[in-house]
């Protein structure tokens, strides 16, 4: 008999963290670990995917921004209070190298943000209390090479950085000093930061106090979270023109984008929706989380830049804090299994012993990853309900598929397509009936 299957839901989990300060998060899929920087505690905290502590790496003065190498073997950490970048082996969780950035150390000197682009490690740092700049660390030669003083006269504070492996020569930087933010896009393919676009106070309502930014995987959009805005804003990287919004609420403070383009947008303060999920280019969310309040007088809020995806987009990590205390919590948000539909098309009739092609499409709020398939069942007698699985078809990134059969029986034949779902998509099926005629 043809089975229809069921779907199950998974519960979110949380774990208290033994740190009282936070600035950045990185996810290592190869070792199933989460790294959190603890600047005022001078450490990098390592947990597993459930939030349980694996190790607390000490000796990391002013650990601020982080970047994971493409092969997941090395975690780079900006040490603001040491004026350096540390390299940590993700297998042994030991520091293997430390590179002096030559910026000086401290609140208005050392590096605070990292990104990998153009084959280098880029860092944002402060020149003094009123100016910020970009620097790069090149580890490709026999000796490390540091280049500073790039992006001068653009930022009024140490800029935040964003990059994406799919567009490795694009670097985006934005200041976050509490005033009107300036966002800049650079081409770093020649080893220097060549300005491609620059804009101050971007967005339909401007951008004061930029809290976070992220690049879409294709590098075409940068999404910014500005505390004074009523939504997350998207800018086109070619010219930083307005390119849509993601409807959240007052005081956006975090954004993270999955490899398939799904956007997780977070806000600060009491809200019906602390974190919302959006398909890229769609202003309406399809899922959200409202963090529980511990009491009538205390609030649970998302910290600035407190979101990160697993590379398979199956879950989101969120760092929260409770008002009236210095306690931090790592929340593991399992991606909901979204409703999925299957449409199937075929000719109304077709001769037997001839090729018959079925086409169809899976439709869901989020895309389908490589390796997704559907099973094709044929029921030669729809009234009897007996069916035979005749094959499978690969699903393209846009959800489309096709399958060719060569039916032998005359009469009405029903084809049913089954999609069994995954961590992000619910089970779905669709059918079509074809009248098989004589040769």
Helix (H) or strand (E) holding 344: strand 341-345
- The candidate with the shortest Cα–Cα distance to 65, out of 213, 215, 201, 195, is 213
Distance CA 424, CA 314 (A): 6
Distance CA 287, CA 252 (A): 17
**Strand, coil or helix: 169:** coil
How far, in Å, CA of 228 to CA of 218, rounded?
A: 27
CA atoms within 13 A on the CB side of 206: 8
Q: What residues contact residue 22 under an 8 Å CB cut-off, 6+ apart? A: 36, 37, 38, 39, 303, 306, 319, 328
Contact 216, 164 (CB under 8 A): yes
For the beta carbon of residue 168, count every other beta carbon within 10 angstroms.
16
Contacts of 141 (CB under 8 A, 6+ apart): none
Collapsing DSSP to helix, strand or coil, 4 comes out as coil
| 8 Å CB contact between 225 and 215 | no
Calpha distance 376→415 (Å, rounded): 7
Integer distance in angstroms from the first to the last C-alpha of the chain? 29
In 3D, which of 251, 250, 232 has the Cα closest to residue 242? Answer: 232
Do 13-334 and 341-437 fold alike per CATH? no
Residue with tokens 């910014």: 224
Q: How far apart are CA 40 and CA 34, in angstroms?
A: 19
Per-residue pLDDT at 297: 63
> Helix, strand, or coil here: 7?
coil
At 134, which helix (H) or strand (E)? strand 132-138
- Contacts (Cβ under 8 Å, ≥6 apart) of 23: 37, 39, 63, 64, 65, 112, 305
d(CA 179, CA 121): 27
Counts for the chain of helices (H) and strands (E), in that order? 0, 36
Of 173, 329, 201, 302, which Cα lies nearest the Cα of 248?
302
Residue 166 token pair: 């799919």
Select 13-334's CATH number: 3.40.50.10260, 3.40.50.2300, 3.40.640.10, 2.130.10.10.
Answer: 2.130.10.10
Q: Do 215 and 163 meet the contact criterion of CB atoms below 8 Å apart?
A: yes
Label residue 395 exposed, middle or buried (CB < 10 Å: 0-12, 13-18, 19+). Answer: buried
Q: Are 77 and 42 in contact (CB under 8 A)?
A: no
- Sign of the dihedral through C-alpha 204, 207, 210, 211: negative
Q: Map residue 360 onto helix, strand or coil.
A: strand
Every domain of the chain and the residues it spans: 13-334, 341-437
- CATH number of this structure's domain 341-437: 2.60.40.730
Task: Report the distance separating Cα 277 and Cα 427, nearest Å.
Answer: 20
Q: What are phi and psi of 284, to 5 degrees?
A: -105, 135
Alpha-carbon distance of 309 to 25, in angstroms, equals: 10
Antiparallel, parallel or unpaired: β 210-215 and 194-200: unpaired
In the block, tokens 């208290």 appear at 16
Question: What is the residue-level pLDDT of the chain in tens, covering all 439 positions?
Answer: 333 333 333 447 899 999 999 999 999 999 999 999 999 999 999 999 999 999 999 999 999 999 999 999 999 999 999 999 999 999 999 999 999 999 999 999 999 999 999 999 999 999 999 899 999 999 999 999 999 999 999 999 999 999 999 999 999 999 876 678 999 999 999 999 999 999 999 988 899 899 999 999 999 999 999 998 889 999 999 999 999 999 998 899 999 999 989 999 999 976 678 999 999 999 999 999 998 877 666 788 999 999 999 998 889 999 999 876 778 999 999 988 899 999 999 999 999 999 999 999 999 988 887 889 999 999 987 676 678 999 999 999 889 999 999 999 899 999 999 999 988 899 999 999 999 998 7
Contact call for residues 202 and 183 (beta carbons, < 8 A):
yes
CA dist 76 and 91 (Å) reads 14
pLDDT at 415: 96
């Amino acid at each position: 008999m043809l089975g229809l299957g069921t779907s199950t839901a998974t519960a979110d989990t949380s774990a208290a963290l033994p740190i009282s300060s936070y600035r950045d998060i990185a996810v290592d899929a190869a070792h199933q670990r989460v790294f959190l920087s603890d600047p005022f505690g001078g450490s990098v905290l390592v947990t597993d995917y459930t939030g349980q502590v694996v190790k607390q790496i000490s000796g990391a003065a002013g650990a601020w921004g982080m970047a994971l190498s493409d092969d997941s073997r090395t975690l780079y950490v900006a040490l603001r209070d040491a004026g350096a970048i540390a390299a940590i082996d993700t297998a042994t969780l030991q520091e293997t190298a430390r590179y002096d950035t030559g910026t000086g150390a401290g609140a208005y000197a050392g590096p605070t943000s990292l990104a990998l682009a153009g084959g280098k490690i880029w860092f944002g740092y402060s020149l003094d209390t009123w100016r910020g700049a970009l620097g790069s660390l090149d580890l490709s030669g026999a000796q490390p090479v540091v280049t500073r003083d790039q992006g001068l006269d653009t930022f009024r504070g140490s800029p935040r950085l964003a990059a994406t492996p799919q567009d490795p020569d694009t670097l985006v930087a934005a200041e976050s000093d509490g005033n009107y933010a300036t966002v800049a896009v650079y081409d770093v393919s020649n080893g220097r930061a060549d300005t491609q676009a620059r804009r101050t106070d971007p967005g339909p309502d401007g951008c004061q106090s930029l809290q976070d930014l992220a690049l879409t995987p294709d590098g075409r959009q940068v999404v910014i979270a500005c505390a004074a805005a009523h939504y997350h804003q998207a800018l086109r990287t070619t010219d930083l023109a307005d390119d849509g919004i993601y409807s959240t609420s007052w005081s956006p403070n975090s954004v993270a984008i999955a490899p398939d383009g799904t956007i997780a947008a977070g806000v600060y303060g009491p809200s019906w929706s602390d974190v919302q999920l959006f398909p890229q280019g769609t202003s309406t969310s399809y899922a959200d989380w409202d963090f529980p309040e511990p009491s009538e007088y205390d609030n649970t809020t998302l910290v600035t830049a407190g979101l990160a995806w697993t590379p398979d987009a199956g879950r989101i990590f969120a760092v929260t804090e409770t008002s009236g205390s210095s306690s931090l919590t790592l929340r593991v948000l399992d991606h909901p299994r979204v409703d999925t539909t299957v449409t199937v098309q075929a000719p109304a009739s077709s001769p037997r012993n001839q090729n018959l092609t079925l086409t169809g499409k899976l439709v869901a709020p989020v895309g389908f990853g490589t390796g997704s398939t559907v099973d094709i069942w044929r029921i030669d007698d729809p009234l009897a309900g007996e069916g035979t699985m005749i094959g499978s078809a690969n699903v393209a990134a846009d959800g489309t598929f096709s399958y060719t059969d060569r039916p032998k029986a005359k009469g009405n034949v029903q084809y049913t397509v089954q999609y069994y779902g995954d961590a992000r998509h619910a089970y779905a099926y669709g059918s079509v009936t074809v009248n098989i005629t004589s040769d």
